[in-house]
Amino acid sequence: MTMKRVLSGIQPTHDSFHLGNYLGAVKQWVELQHKHDAFYCVVDLHALTIETDPALLRKRSLASAAQLIALGVDPDKCTLFLQSHVSEHNQLGWIMECLAGFGEASRMTQFKDKSQKSGTDRTVVGLFTYPMLQAADILLYQADLVPVGEDQRQHIELTRDLAGRFNSRYGDTFQLPEAYILKAGAKINDLQDPTSKMSKSANSMQGVIEIMDTPEVNAKKIKSSMTDTGREVLFNEKEKPGISNLLTIHSALSGRSISELESEFAGKGYGDFKSTVADVVVDYLRPIRQRALELLEDESGLIAVLRQGAEKAQVVAEKTLASTYKNLGLVER
Ligand code: TYM
């Protein structure tokens, strides 16, 4: 039996990934790479939807690759590459744009949220066509599964719709992908505003745990996270969103169940609990940050790994693009 294909991507828009990126997505990338044919890319072209200083974009793309490897994405077990290294992504992206309806694209909530925040005049067209490039990322590799956080569900649904539409118009060309979203960790919330998701674009970074932050900074953020009413450590997202979020984080990192943690902290206050969560998070992230910093010291080594990844990815991407062009009726060269 052939192995199932997996594809996912992450944007290099910031100096560090946050705990939501890890628990919602990258942790699953690491698990899936062992029994699947996995392709993971740093989607640097998607990051161009936010204007960034060129030196910073370059630095962040490499830092993203280093963090992925430090978090356990193993270039010997999967194909790790930069999106811009495989030009087929742009080529299939255009085809997806010609397939998607304007209304359909206008309904993407991420586009609506982001464009509302910055206003029409400051919203680039690329933000609107972003999900079609994402569809191309996925379909080029004929992915069966796409491990992501809850906020990406709608984009994966759109990808399925586009693949199905193409197949029924032009003949079977694309595998229909499925979102792979785990219940625990699918949405990690901000520590200061625990009803909103932890996000790289939050107004304040006080509630965002960054992988590359120092242990001291992260411990402080957890200890000063928003306090819910009451005093018992119980999982109840409505009444205790802050504590529930910390329970989810502890459980995902320690591998212990939420009910086990509730019993452990029965009769103890929020203060004790927060200190323990701070220890769990900091102990988990310390060696990862260290490893990422080491990897970044050898930039050419890192680029070589990405180049190899791109070469492997391109073999698959070329094949899909060729059959797509053929099925569309574009004349062979
Ligand atoms: P990005 O870079 O915003 O986020 C990367 C991954 O992290 C997940 N995530 C979260 N999960 C749980 N809780 C949170 N608070 C949280 N915040 C972020 C996201 O769901 C995502 O899985 N459009 C994608 C990038 C992309 C992509 C793709 C993904 C481009 N092409 C192809 C999959 C397949 C994005 O913006 O992710």
Whether 112 sits among the annotated catalytic residues: the reply is no
Q: How many residues does the chain have?
A: 333
pLDDT at 101: 98
Ligand 1 contacts CB of residue 20 (under 6 A) = yes
Query: Which atom of ligand 1 is the closest one to the Cα of 130?
Result: 23
Ligand 1 contacts CB of residue 24 (under 6 A) = yes
Ligand 1 contacts CB of residue 194 (under 6 A) = no
pLDDT at 1: 66
Q: Identify the H or E element spanning 179.
A: strand 178-180
Ligand 1 contacts CB of residue 49 (under 6 A) = no
Ligand 1 contacts CB of residue 209 (under 6 A) = no
Q: Strand 37-42 vs strand 178-180: parallel, antiparallel, or unpaired?
A: unpaired
Report DSSP letters for 11-53, one per residue: ---SSS-BHHHIIIIIHHHHHHTTTSEEEEEE-TTGGGGS---
Whether 268 sits among the annotated catalytic residues: the reply is no
Write out the chain's pLDDT in tens, 333 residues.
689 999 999 999 999 999 999 999 999 999 999 999 999 999 999 999 999 999 999 999 999 999 999 999 999 999 999 999 999 999 999 999 999 999 999 999 999 998 998 888 889 999 999 999 999 999 999 999 999 999 999 999 999 999 999 999 999 999 999 999 998 878 999 999 999 999 988 889 999 999 999 999 999 999 999 989 999 999 999 999 999 999 999 999 999 999 999 999 999 999 999 999 999 999 999 999 999 999 999 999 999 999 999 999 999 999 999 999 999 999 998
Pocket probe mutation, ligand 1, options 78, 114, 148, max atoms within 8 Å of Cβ: 148
Whole-angstrom Cα distance, residue 72 to residue 182? 18
Query: Do residues 314 and 77 make contact, with C-beta atoms less than 8 angstroms apart?
Result: no
pLDDT at 297: 98
Cα–Cα distances (Å) from 93 to 52, 98, 324, in that order, read 22, 9, 12
Residue bearing the CA closest to ligand 1, atom 27? 9
Report DSSP letters for 219-231, one per residue: HHHHHTSPPPSSS
Q: Identify the H or E element spanning 129.
A: helix 125-140
Q: For residue 199, report the distance from its CA to the centre of ligand 1, in Å.
A: 10
pLDDT at 48: 97
